[in-house]
Structure 1
Amino acid sequence: MASAVSADKRLDQVVRLIAGNMVSEVCSVYVARGGEVLELFATEGLKKEAIHKTRLRFREGLVGEIAATGAPLNLSNAQSHPKFVYRPETGEEIYHSLLGVPILRGGRVVGVLVVQNRTQRHYSDDEAEALQTVAMVIAELVSSNELVRPDEVTAATLERAATPSFEVMALAEGIAIGRAVFHEPIVEILEHVAQDSGVERDRLVTAFAALHQQIDNLMAAEDMKSGEHREILDVYKMFASDVGWRQRILEAVDSGLTAEAAVERVQVENRARLQSTPDPYLRERLSDLDDLSNRLIRHLMGRADTSASENLPDDFILLARSMGPADLLEYDRSKLRGVILQEGSHTSHVTIVARALGIPLVGQAGGIIERVASGEQLIIDGDEGWIYLSPSAEIIQSYQETLVARTERFARYTALRNEPAVTLDGVEIELYMNAGLAIDLPHLESTGAKGIGLFRTEFQFMVGAQMPRLETQIEHYSEVLDAAGDRPVVFRTLDIGGDKPVAFMVPEDEENPALGWRAIRVALDRPALLRYQLRALIQAATGRAISIMFPMITELAEFKAARAIVDKELERRRKLGLEGPASIRIGTMIEVPALAWHLEPLLKHVDFVSIGSNDLLQFFFAADRGNAKVSGRYDVLSPAALSFLHHIISTCDRHNVPVTFCGELAGKTLEAMALVGLGLRRLSISPAGIGPVKTMVRSLKLAPLEAYLKDLMPLGERSVRSRLMAFAHDHGVIL
């Protein structure tokens, strides 16, 4: 690297040295160019004519996957991987095993270093670490710009060679491939000044009636009669029936505007007012009001239908600036594959409905929609947040194989539905599911989950403009318990505040909402709110078993205060002579590190605990999991995190208090394997994770893993992820 020869020659020498020392038949370096394009810059073993000709987009092929994730990839049979892409000019079809590592500079991927062999071999941890060390050295050369020659490859050439891709916000998970369809044709208002205000008022009254009838027809559909869909449409109908909205439009007509122009003027006024409000819930309702205004204008102009009424392709992806939930529900869901929104957020009504229906959705697409032509083929990656425009055949094939693999895996998981999650050495791992919507409940049967380990109750409070009435809450909780039957259900009390606003409370202006007034802090400061919810839960559980846990508990005193409210409600019910639950268990989430170091006294007062990994680990690492700049600065499979979790698990075991792990972490097979090795015997995960985790458990022999983890936890490494992957490979564990 310090020699005086050109950068290209130095890189050639480096790949030859690596191939020779690692006994690898191939060593290649790909360098990131503009627009997230990876270009082959040097190789030992592949065809030399492929240098500067072979290019891959980030996420295209195995090399693109390494670049996109910033994580190493160690495969004994690379060609069987769903992301494998064959480039005929390289001659790499004869090579099977692959070890690739990202070339990182300042936390950013600037290239990829790869070695390959003809035989199916699994590279050792030492080899992987050595390659990562070499990649750090190569990063200096790559970042020096000595390798980049502007006259060598023009930007236009790169653009032609690459599929345009855009990173967006992933709102509802899944992958979709289809043709672009624009949700709403542009309706241009040509006449603004009315000739006769009386006629315009009559037109407006007729259009309002047609709008209400359209919404009633949607609500009358068989699959809209219950659940969160219905509650969202109830709120939507309430907006449509708002007397103030209607009156302002009529006043605009009386001022001399046409009916269409009057609706547009009030729409602009609403948008200006709501965009400036500090209330996030009201800002989220802007898309609902926009949708209603646009629908009303189309009724007035005799163009009431959106693209939903047209003869649409069998596989289409819907594009819109914004949408209301009613709009989405109008489309034929047997043909609709995904949705791209120019706006959109995690808490908007259309996002919630899309998640419930399993429709991939991405948002915050900026100016991307303007670049798309009607009928153009698109790919949505709702898992990672990517859009591909007119993707290449290789990218389409890669995603199609991923979809096929998902379908095949799902069939295998379904076959295991009634089989227990028992390790090869006879240890049972209880798998529960997380839920929060009525539409989640059928997954109890389809996945074979042992029960609901976490039911998030806040959603019912977030979708309405007012706090749900007691009867509504009772009905909702009864529906959950009915669906569960004999299976246990753990209800988490309201976890609102922070990033979960509700309309009936004025939001707090906080610099750090995650550490602010939220969850149990709100409930204890507003005890009537918690008491109201507990009353509903206790009544819904009449004659049945129920478990209740509190979120965001920081100290024993908070738990005692919350439990005292439960006791008051139980005593009230006894005094009224009413039957109570057959049994009731009270527990807490461990989401704050302070509580983890105060477990001894806590465990004397709780019936169970649940580890809430999402919050607990972001506080543990002092890194906001929602901030892309810092969320990747730690690995949950670090010795520090594993030791911390082991402390909690072992302390609970010593006191014979059941402990469950709740959170996204437990739904990933490698992470779940580590948790089981730490001593966890109960995991509560998303329904989609139950099949993969059960498959992993049934292929695992627990005793060797437990011994292996004891040796890993004292290590001073940033992560033991690669070591755990090697363990799984060596012991035949299916990840």
Structure 2
Amino acid sequence: MAGAAPAQDRLDTVVRIIAQSMVAEVCSIYLRRASGDLELFATQGLKPEAVHNTRLRPGEGLVGEVARSAAPISLSDAPTHPSFSYRPETGEDPYHAFLGAPLLRGGRAIGVLVVQNRSERRYDDEEVEDIQTIAMVLAETVASGELLGQEELRDIEVAPHRPERLKGQRFAEGLAYGHVVLHEAPVAPENLLAENQQVEEIRLREALIGLKANIDGMLEGGAGKLGGQSFEVLETYRMFADDRGWNRSLEEAVRTGLTAEAAVDRVRNEHRARFAKARDPYIKERLHDFEDLANRLLRVLAGDRPGERDLPDDAILVARNLGPADLLEYPRHKIRGLLLEEGSAASHAAIVARALQIPCVGRLMGVRDRLSEGDLVIVDGETGEAYLRPRPDMLSAVQSRMEVRHQRQAEFAKLRDVPAVTKDGQRITLLTNAGLAVDLENLDATGAEGIGLFRTEFQFMVSEELPRLDSQTALYKLVLDTAGDRPVTFRTLDIGGDKVLPYLETEREENPALGRRAIRLGLDRPALLRLQIRALLAAGAGRELRVMFPMIATVDEYRAARELVDHECDWARRRGRALPAMLRVGAMIECPSLLWHLDALLPLTDFVSIGSNDLFQYMFAADRTNPLVADRYDPLSPPALRALAEIQKKCADTGTPVSVCGELAGRPLEAFALLTLGFTRLSAPAGGVGPVKRMILSSDLTAARRGMTALLGSSSASVRGELETLARKLNVAV
């Protein structure tokens, strides 16, 4: 195979060697063309003139059936089988016994290896195993280009290679193109054939033990190491790791002479090829579970560690889903875009992508199966589409659109130092959201007047252990130093629900979104919250410090949290430590229960901030991280707008400063709605500051508020269309 002879000569040698070793009178290799046809590429025993002339349509004949089923077929009298297809040019009339095995690559049958004999005989199990092993080696050799040159490979379907367009959902705006990097990418086995079968059996056994121990450790410590996946998923992983059929398939593959890695790869390919044909979504889901498990086992065998992958400078990360910390593990300067099979626009992976200004498209069903490492791909975060292996003209068109976006960004940059004042003279305070040290660069770049929401949990989510007092203090001090005289509002730790820390022991909850999360966790574990408050007070010594508590559902919760702040202030005074020159403590309005208790809450607070993401998910009883229901409501619906209007009115009546810091504040049309409701303080993601400021400068709120009053009485599920019409009528840049 490694010789210098022409490709066809090497193929002819291969079939001759296989025929001799299998004691077969015929050995043939069929490879799949891009059209789907299976073409006879080499044969020993059939007529030589049939090579490259005999083609079978998809599913035609026994060869087509082997490719379709992705499983071996063994027959003692092939011509009597209903799928048998007679081709006179091959001269296979005398042959009765038939054994065919698929050449599987990436879960696809890229060809078929066939042996035949004249006598009506049944090939035994050992011979079937042998031909499967040979077929696997042959598939790897064909796909790698060792046997056929790259010229011949161009037209053979070894992997998806045609341009494709997939429609998904926009999670983070922007345009990007680059080369695919598969999150938790499969580890390709370097060696296929074992030198010592017993050693490989031991390696496989030890790797399986290590894999199961790893999963057990995750089960005992919570689901955090899987990036926020549920406890049930971990239990399913453990169940599959113990699956007798899977374990037996791996053991049998090693006994055929494969290395442990090659055995895992072969079993994974067989599962993938068979499960992929299933229509049942549950079965397809199980395919992903088995495939993820196989990939983990391969990484155990390879001794790989997370975060050590060498990425291209224009990486497009492709994943089934990402946990809150997964995206942050990759070098930020190399990630150009993100494609997800699952998720939602409100998931924390999407929020992090927007914070880092990484274009992201989600809900792209099957995108991982359609891509290989290194494929060129376009992420269109404007239309919610992905272009796989795009044609040159499509790539050129996207590059032109990117140039236009850069020009638009340049226009926004010109507005950086322009005050956010409407055409009718109303001053709007425009802030930005942050959560990482890298976000601080956006303060000067966007011209934001401060940080309206600093998500302190991100430091905890990217750490391998609980951040100590000094590291928390250092981060908060860096944030305040960078902001200078601009205000910064720190939100205390908001974990739980879909944000799980691997080092923090948590109990299993049936509904984590409604469970012990955010301030509830902080009050249940006061030492954790007091440590953070102590760090905030130390960082804010001698200057203004703004702290707010997330997910306050009752007035008593706010009182209890505020008492912890008072205790920490007393603790610092007794030790002669400096305190903030001005301390303001507020609450986030995210729970609908507060809508009917604002009269009791607002007098106790220095300010409040509306977390629209959580407020609306609880108001509409639709989990924003569940893609099946996340889009069941529009935030520009009368109930949502009326709730916001009520909060604004109560705050105005009591003189309580109020801001909106959810994703709503970063989208021009939604921000326009907020302004018409009377809000004058918005905190947007960095990418939304420029577009929202442009909208503010083009708005006449006196006229717009009259139009909004009529929309609040609508009985429609959404007034988005009417609001867009109002904006166009008033020449507002939304």
Aligned mates of 1:724, 1:384 — CA distance in 2? 21
CA contact (8 A) 1:284 1:347 kept: no
Residue 189 of structure 2 corresponds to residue 187 of structure 1: yes
Aligned mates of 2:330, 2:642 — CA distance in 1? 51
Within a 5 Å distance, the mapping from 1:250-649 to structure 2 comes to 264-265=207-208, 268-270=211-213, 273=216, 279-284=222-227, 294=299, 297=302, 308=311, 317=316, 333=333, 337-338=336-337, 358-360=357-359, 368-372=367-371, 376-381=375-380, 386-391=385-390, 396=395, 399-649=398-648
Distance 1:258 1:544, change over 3 A: farther
Aligned-residue offset at 1:608: 0.5
Residue 679 of structure 2 corresponds to residue 673 of structure 1: no
Aligned-residue offset at 1:373: 5.7
Aligned mates of 2:666, 2:332 — CA distance in 1? 31
CA contact (8 A) 2:694 2:733 kept: yes
2:190 counterpart SS class:
coil
**Larger of the two Rg values belongs to structure:** 2
Aligned-residue offset at 1:316: 6.0
Q: Which moved more, 1:615-624 or 1:581-590?
A: 615-624
Q: In the alignment, residue 446 of structure 1 is paired with which amino acid? A: A
1:442 counterpart SS class:
helix
Query: CA offsets per residue over residues 37-87 of structure 1, 9 Å max, x none?
Result: xxxxxxxxxxxxxxxxxxxxxxxxxxxxxxxxxxxxxxxxxxxxxxxxxxx
Aligned mates of 2:697, 2:704 — CA distance in 1? 14
Aligned-residue offset at 1:259: 10
Aligned mates of 1:293, 1:172 — CA distance in 2? 32
Query: CA offsets per residue over residues 383-434 of structure 1, 9 Å max, x none?
Result: 7764332446776566445423321221111111011000011111000111
Q: In the alignment, residue 619 of structure 1 is paired with which amino acid? A: Y
1:387 counterpart SS class:
strand
Q: In the alignment, residue 605 of structure 2 is paired with which amino acid? A: V
Normalised by the size of structure 2, how large is the TM-score?
0.61
Partner of 1:178: 178
Aligned-residue offset at 1:508: 3.1
2:604 counterpart SS class:
coil
Partner of 1:59: none
CA contact (8 A) 2:343 2:626 kept: no
Distance 1:466 1:179, change over 3 A: closer
CA contact (8 A) 1:263 1:297 kept: no
Q: In the alignment, residue 176 of structure 2 is paired with which amino acid? A: A
Query: CA offsets per residue over residues 128-171 of structure 1, 9 Å max, x none?
Result: xxxxxxxxxxxxxxxxxxxxxxxxxxxxxxxx9x9634466877
Aligned-residue offset at 1:621: 2.2
Aligned-residue offset at 1:623: 2.4
Structure 1 unaligned blocks of 5 or more: 1-159, 196-254
1:490 counterpart SS class:
strand
Aligned mates of 1:327, 1:292 — CA distance in 2? 22
Structure 2 unaligned blocks of 5 or more: 1-159, 229-233, 235-291
Aligned-residue offset at 1:667: 0.9
Aligned mates of 2:620, 2:370 — CA distance in 1? 40
CA contact (8 A) 2:676 2:704 kept: yes
**Count of paired positions:** 508
Within a 5 Å distance, the mapping from 1:200-239 to structure 2 comes to none
Aligned mates of 1:418, 1:667 — CA distance in 2? 18
Query: CA offsets per residue over residues 526-574 of structure 1, 9 Å max, x none?
Result: 1121111111110111111100111111121111111111111111111
Aligned mates of 2:330, 2:459 — CA distance in 1? 23
Within a 5 Å distance, the mapping from 1:74-93 to structure 2 comes to none
Aligned mates of 2:320, 2:625 — CA distance in 1? 24
Aligned-residue offset at 1:329: 8.1
Query: CA offsets per residue over residues 427-470 of structure 1, 9 Å max, x none?
Result: 11000111111110110100111111111111122223432111
1:604 counterpart SS class:
helix
Q: Which moved more, 1:381-390 or 1:448-457?
A: 381-390
Residue 730 of structure 2 corresponds to residue 692 of structure 1: no
Aligned-residue offset at 1:364: 8.4
Distance 1:558 1:165, change over 3 A: same
CA contact (8 A) 2:319 2:340 kept: yes
Distance 1:345 1:187, change over 3 A: farther
Q: In the alignment, residue 175 of structure 2 is paired with which amino acid? A: I
Partner of 1:142: none
Aligned mates of 1:545, 1:697 — CA distance in 2? 28
Partner of 1:87: none
Aligned mates of 1:321, 1:637 — CA distance in 2? 30
Aligned-residue offset at 1:283: 2.7
Aligned-residue offset at 1:651: 1.1
2:452 counterpart SS class:
strand
Q: Taking every aligned residue pair, what percent have the same amino acid on both sides?
A: 45
CA contact (8 A) 2:430 2:683 kept: yes
Aligned mates of 1:288, 1:431 — CA distance in 2? 46
CA contact (8 A) 2:587 2:607 kept: yes
Aligned mates of 1:353, 1:653 — CA distance in 2? 32
CA contact (8 A) 2:430 2:689 kept: yes
Query: CA offsets per residue over residues 340-386 of structure 1, 9 Å max, x none?
Result: 57899999999999777654466887754443367654222457764
1:629 counterpart SS class:
coil
